[in-house]
Amino acid sequence: MDEFKVRTVDLQQVQNQTRHKTDGLSSSTLVLRRGQAFTVTINYDGRPFDPLKEKLIFRIVLGPIAVEVPVSRFGQPSLTQWTAVLERSVPNPTGPRALSVTLSSPATASIGVYTLQLRVEARLSVKTHLLGQFTLLCNPWCEADSVFLQSEDLRTEYVKSDIGLLFKGSPGNIVSRPWSFDQYEKGILDICMKLLQVSPQHQADMGKDLLNRSNPVYISRVISAMVNCNDDKGVLMGNWSGDYKDGVNPSKWSGSADILRMWSETQFSPVKYGQCWVFAAVMCTVMRALGIPTRVVTNFNSAHDTDGNMTIEEYYNEKGEKLSMSRDSIWNFHVWVESWMKRPDLGRGYDGWQVLDPTPQEMSAGMFRCGPAAVTAIYERRVDAQYDVPFVYAEVNADVRTMIVRNGRVLSTSVDKRRVGALISTKRPGSMSMQDITSEYKTEEDENTYRGSMAGVTGRSTTFRCEPQSDRIMVGNTCSRSLTGVTGRSITFSCEPQSDRIMASKGVEVSLQLLKAPVVGENISFNIIITNNDAAPKLLRKHVNAQNKEYNRNPTETFWEAHDDIKIGPKETVTIKHEISFKHYMLKETEEDSLVNLAVVIEDVKSQERVLASEEFIIRSPSLDIQIQNEVSVIINTPQVATVIFTNPFNVAVSGELTVSGSGLLEEKAQMRLTIQPRETIKKRVNFTPRMAGARMLSANLVLENPPTIMHGFKTINVQAS
């Protein structure tokens, strides 16, 4: 009979990827997860395989590292080393014969793109067959993997889901923005693997980098640096200037695929431009693609403490104008990611969620990156725990010292221990609503965010107010926060603007109250409430000031102000209503939501005592509505129709570009130019054919030129298998 001769080897791509839960990921290779067995079929001619006459040895190659794995007839797949076990021989007297071999990788294998070879050693010959490549990812389904996550619902949300909801705005006025993580889009997984290859660590010492890639702590630190371009060939360039002429306005991105493809197609030139939510969303895509459970997190009132003293200084002049006198700043919101992994380097108790921040703010060991910082270490104030715990701790816990100054002299001071880290939130698993995770970062003592008062330096107190509203979790694109206190009673606070801070003196109290959530095109209406606590009448001077603001720094010029004198009777409370018209705050640059710093200073003419109340709020853009024709019966590979609906709220005709996209729903984005008359409602039909089952998201962006604003809308669709 002829000798045993290998004809072909089948890597069983469909079956293996289904078993490894990598089906849907697009790659030029087989995609597998570590710590799990996979099967290959060896088709051969000639006599049956005889282990006494020939040896089969798999050679598994990753860069300069190679492992030889002899095929054994007996044995079990192992979680600690590579193994190859002969499952069965398939006799077929007439046609080709086949051997089935089960290979398995250790749960600590390095992630990367491997080459698989098979060597057949007979008494008189040695033949090597190149079988192809496979991409090996982390495995949150495998208990021995350091990214193992117990709950199937959480694995679905934090690894498999490609639908995102990012939260922006201010803690009293939150806006949610759809984001498509796009990890299933064509070529995206290969680009994510390329990101590891292009990193400075890989370029400097390939062998060391590949060995370290077994550890998600190391991987996440590399990715955190590579998502920004500040010290490497990273993906995104940050820009907070408002001038985006030579790139893309960060607010116009709606998914990660465009960004990652642009980076790859330009030979790893940085993509212009990103801001914090874009950096975080792209990092979330890369980490989920690599198999590391990851979620996007927003910290509202996020401190950037440049001098490390855990205090942010804010300065106002006596007219209520906020001054740029400090390098410290409070970002209205800052967005980072958390990834789930074990932390053996920190000892017991620090496994679980880790903060990673790819926005280039400060250096960590010589590179612009941040984390992984264990959320538990932040909660426990373990500022010695690596990496970057002090920086993140300050982002959620710094004190705010507010001073009213004149000619370099401090007129009054208050200290606010509650404002920073007022709300820390993420998307709720399996839902398009917000989950409050503040209590994971802050103790009860740190976290009485909306209530309580503390004495300032001058004995004044700063009080937070938030009134309970009826239970309301998701209305349109607004959301609310539920706080569960020690009693377990859940109070739901609506995300409507509330008075931000009240500054009180012995004699006078002042507060600001927004009358409704401001929307672009409408007037801003608010009340100033002044109380005289004394038994004597007072003459007061009132200064109100509104300034434009970027989310990550102090306000710029004043666009509206009002100054007058008020007489107030003994023990009297007066309410004064103000309106700021649209023409006063009309946008200059294209923004999706513009921020305003509103402040009032009340001066007691006789005592010269001054009190201040301030509020930072968002003027949100109107939203787009998306309707699906047969919403309850959307079936894979069956044509469908969506309608995007928008009513022009402005008194002038507007024009701009509408873009509709949806991963797994639309092959190409639908784009169209629109001109809409004042108060006109337009309805635009978009045809799509779903190509992936499960939860999908259709999102629409309308970029208007005048006024320059960006509007969003999204619709989640449950696509049924046929």
Residues that are catalytic:
276, 334, 357
**Helix or strand or coil: residue 280?**
helix
Burial degree of 281 (CB within 10 A; 0-12, 13-18, 19+): buried
Q: How does 653-689 read in b/e, with b if 16+ C-beta sit within 10 Å? A: ebebebbbbbbbbbeeebeeebebeeeeeeebebebe
Nearest to 192 by CA among 288, 295, 280, 275: 288
> What are 578's two structure tokens?
């103000």
Nearest to 261 by CA among 669, 689, 717, 713: 669
Nearest to 363 by CA among 334, 344, 387: 387
Would you tell me the crossing angle of helices 216-226 and 276-289 to the nearest 10 degrees? 140
Nearest to 333 by CA among 383, 396, 250: 396
Measured distance CA(148)–CA(637) in Å, rounded: 34
**Helix or strand or coil: residue 402?**
strand
> What are 597's two structure tokens?
């710093």
Nearest to 121 by CA among 68, 67, 63: 68
Measured distance CA(379)–CA(444) in Å, rounded: 10
Neighbours of 148 (CB within 10 A): 20
Contact between residue 353 and residue 338 where contact means Cβ atoms under 8 Å apart:
yes
Beta strands 83-90; 65-72: pairing state: parallel
Contact between residue 623 and residue 575 where contact means Cβ atoms under 8 Å apart:
no
Nearest to 169 by CA among 422, 393, 415: 422
Burial degree of 351 (CB within 10 A; 0-12, 13-18, 19+): middle
- DSSP state for residue 152 in the 8-state scheme: H
Neighbours of 106 (CB within 10 A): 18
Q: Which residues, 6 or more positions from 200, have their beta carbon under 8 angstroms from its beta carbon?
A: 225, 231, 232, 367
